[in-house]
Amino acid sequence: MAEAPFPKELTKKYKPEHVLGSGANGVVYRAQRLFDNRLVAIKVLSETSPDPAAVDRFAREAKIARQDLHPSFVQVFESGVANGCHYIVSELVTGQTLRSFINLKRKLNERRTLEIGAEVAACLGKLHEIGIVHRDIKPENIMLDEQGRVRVLDLGIARMADSGDRLTKTGMIVGTILYLAPEQCRFREAKPAADVFALGLVMLECLVPQVLASGKVCKPGEFMVIRATGKEVLSIPPQIEAATANLLRKCLAFEADGRFQDGNELCSAINEVAQNRCSMKGVATVTTEIAVETEEQIKPVAMITQPTSRGRYFLACALLFIVSLSLFTFRRQKTARVQKQV
């Protein structure tokens, strides 16, 4: 498909610099806002988009993003139609996606994983409060900006929970296959618990980058059957702390009722686990210091009582006993002589 051209009408307010990326239905441009020289990102939907529902999704993304629900959502400045093309102007976020970060670092530690998870869960909580399900949480849609802050991207397929408009044809589902909840693979409505499942997978992938490797080599239909029937095995390594492992297991429960029910509930649970980890680390630090100090105190004894020096120990004791006995006998004899002279 041909690239969506930058709308001529927008050149009155914005100076396009270059293309940041493109997809099936449009292009994202890096541009400069003329009145204050601020750099922005402008997403332009192709005038001849092959997917009629794309226009509805595009408009929905703009409407949701402009509600300013949470600082971690990318801020939208304006949206509209120019030269027959729908567009969205948003802040330009520089950094890297969580996907590229995982690929670069291979895996994240538990502390950082919980921090990212809590921030994304808080964002989702704001969506869930107004009845919206994101439906496409994945590492590619989570960005870490240059300050290390978490940003949540792409509200294009978010939709109202319990609404009748699926924005898809009958029998079709929306979302990235690898991060779909089991009920989505059974073509059921996506509720907030589906976002919880996806975020649980993202957190597990941060800790175990290869956890979804088997799914990537399956055909989409085969993979959906495996997940829909509960035959998928998502292993949580034993080195992951018990509280974190239990949290992930609840996120990834096969039945939606067994999971945290929305982003706010998950965020609270993650914060509780993180706080307990900090408390336990504090106790562990004190214990370690005491253990090291005690070890230093008993180290000479431990060295003496080792099997290789046992003979020397007994020899030293024997010599000490002989010397003590000799001194005792000498002093006793000397005392007896003095008493005899007197």
140 phi, psi to nearest 5 deg: -70, -20
CB atoms within 10 A of CB 249: 15
Query: CA triplet 211, 213, 218: central angle to 5 degrees?
Result: 130
Instruction: Tell the residue number behind the tokens 């319990």, with chain if given.
Output: 162
Cα–Cα distance, 204 to 231 (Å, whole number): 18
User: Which candidate in 36, 51, 68, 136 is catalytic?
Assistant: 136
| Element at 145 (helix H, strand E) | strand 142-145
Distances (CA, A) of 320 to 67, 206, 317: 87, 64, 5
Cα–Cα distance, 66 to 254 (Å, whole number): 34
Active site residue 136: yes
Bridge partners (DSSP) of residue 39 are 32
Give the list of residues 6+ apart from residue 177 with CB closer than 8 angstroms, or none.
215, 220, 223, 224
- Catalytic positions are 136
